Structure 1
């Protein structure tokens, strides 16, 4: 029986790259996308995940369950706290795209740099890393790598400027960390270039997030 995964997006940029990962790892899966590109705008404007944003996301997760989802993939690191609040009210498991990435990073490294283009993504990612470290009884050090101006460059139609600012930010913290975590899934396309530039392991969320979906689907098949 073909499994269904519903991916919930707060913006447009990650849908096509993530589809390629699904085609590689879960080629027989039915993938359905729910995209509300106003959500990330509202989070950025408010500087936090508001109750209204949380309600909209809960509605989308419940809609995903009604669409027949076996697993829901939340693709936005900025709204992870909304996932935590929604899980008790949704009948289908919700995977955070960045949760497995965070587990892998804290299990292997003590000093981790977090690169993001928005404070609303940087802060939740750093909090996620701390929680994952606490879960395994490990103490870690985090370095703040906010690429100021990169988000504005991207939405302003200047992707080269966006990439340059991220690259400079990663290079600026590389000497003080053992590894670098990319807080936004849309930055995954820079993973190889940043590894080469910094000489450090670089962690991105899309591949590990879909692997977590795959593992969960396999466990559901065994339990049924």
Structure 2
């Protein structure tokens, strides 16, 4: 399986999850930070061609692909039929769980470019839930917040400071049924928070979905 990352810090996270839950699964990591930088500057669609070339190239391996960047996840996912291989976005299982938890969804992110793709994904999953169980779930009413100063801490390599800011933002959420941590890098903040509201993150459930797709392929 190939994992497409926009930060090298995600590699040990997914390797550890593999070792803990999916022993024996071979992971190939493609780390291309420039994709996120260009997507933030020009929009996710601007990097579609580059993603296609990367995933079609000899260095991308074969089998399922998991894109771990929420900003470009939708773009990568749409390339699956073109590439002839499953391409999954890491945050889809998290979004599916969120809309099943309740309609009041707090979406926290550390970069603005993540918000629109995450909200679109929540709408998609809400539509899927409505088709599955018509009239059984209220329409989602998500609200969003970018955690001030967190991304700067992340870029500076201050992981503890980054997670502390995210955890504080989590604990500040009120009147929500569920809190979504929109980026893989934020997952560690869940264990640092003290909120009683369910907090969802994407790495573990996203990797599990990709391993399932790999086995079905």
**TM-score w.r.t. length of structure 1:** 0.86
State the Cα RMSD in Å.
1.8
Displacement of 1:12 after TM fit?
1.6
Displacement of 1:67 after TM fit?
4.7
Which structure would you say has the larger RCO, counting Cα contacts within 8 Å and 6 or more residues apart? 2
Displacement of 1:98 after TM fit?
0.7
SS in 1 for 2:72: helix
Would you say 1:217 and 2:204 are equivalent positions? no
Gaps (5+ residues) in structure 2?
Answer: 131-136
Specify which of 42, 51, 54 is matched with residue 48 of structure 2. 54
Count of matched residue positions in the alignment of Structure 1 and Structure 2: 210
Q: What residue is the counterpart of 1:161 in the other structure?
A: 161
Flag as ranges the 4+ runs of structure 1 deviating above 4 A: none
The 5 Å alignment of 1:200-211 reads 200-211=197-208
The answer on whether the counterparts of 1:112 and 1:181 sit within 8 Å (CA) in structure 2 is yes
Displacement of 1:219 after TM fit?
2.6
Specify which of 58, 66, 70 is matched with residue 73 of structure 1. 66
Displacement of 1:157 after TM fit?
3.9
The answer on whether the counterparts of 1:8 and 1:60 sit within 8 Å (CA) in structure 2 is no
Q: What residue is the counterpart of 1:7 in the other structure?
A: 3
SS in 2 for 1:181: strand
Q: What residue is the counterpart of 1:86 in the other structure?
A: 79
| Distance in structure 2 (CA, Å) of the matches to 1:17 and 1:165 | 20
Displacement of 1:156 after TM fit?
2.8
Q: What residue is the counterpart of 1:184 in the other structure?
A: 183
| Distance in structure 2 (CA, Å) of the matches to 1:207 and 1:198 | 20
Higher mean C-alpha displacement, 26-35 vs 154-163: 154-163
Gaps (5+ residues) in structure 1?
Answer: none
